[in-house]
Structure 1
Amino acid sequence: MTYREFITSDHTIMLGKPVIKGTRLTVELILRKLGEGATHADLIRMYPDLSSEAIQAALQYAAEVIANEESLEAAR
């Protein structure tokens, strides 16, 4: 599985933010909820259109973006 199977970005949906395909659930929302302590089961309960695979894809996407970003220290 690659994140590309689950994540898309379209300027007409959520202003182009990366979302789970077929939803308006942004990768940002998923990451924020996980960061606040939500579990995969919590997210699936809150958002029935979400799958465990889509949550993993959001994490993979975030890791890929961070791997290609300039570090905060280098940017100073």
Structure 2
Amino acid sequence: MSLVERIITDPAVCHGEACIKGTRIPVSVILDNLASGLDMNEILKSYPSLTADDVRAAIAYAALLTKERHVYL
């Protein structure tokens, strides 16, 4: 299974926001935590239902999104 297969979007879960499969944890929450300087171990401690592969999947998902569109700052 590829890492991105760990990501789901379901209108019945978190209003369709991309989440880690089997959880209600949005990908954006994981990325926000990483951007704030938390390391993987801190995130896993805060969200015990996550695995290291889930965090890597969130990063892989974000990488895919940056290939699809440009955000001009």
TM-score for the superposition, normalised by structure 2:
0.92
TM-superposed CA distance for 1:44, in Å, is 0.6
Q: 2:23 corresponds to which residue? A: 23
Q: Distance in 2 between matches of 1:18 and 1:65?
A: 12
Cα 1:43–1:72 change in 2 (3 A) is same
Q: 1:35-46, aligned counterparts within 5 Å?
A: 35-46=35-46
Q: What's the CA shift for 1:71?
A: 4.0
- Residue ranges of structure 1 left out of the alignment (5+ in a row): none
Which residue of 2 is the match for residue 14 of structure 1? 14
Residues 1-76 of structure 1 mapped to structure 2, 5 A cutoff: 1-72=1-72
Deviates more, 1:28-37 or 1:64-73: 64-73
Match of 1:30, as an amino acid?
A: I
Please report the RMSD computed on the Cα atoms of aligned residues, expressed in angstroms: 1.3
**TM-score under structure 1 length normalisation:** 0.88
Give the aligned length. Answer: 73
The answer to which of 20-29 and 2-11 deviates more is: 2-11
Contact kept? 2:4, 2:58, Cα under 8 Å? no
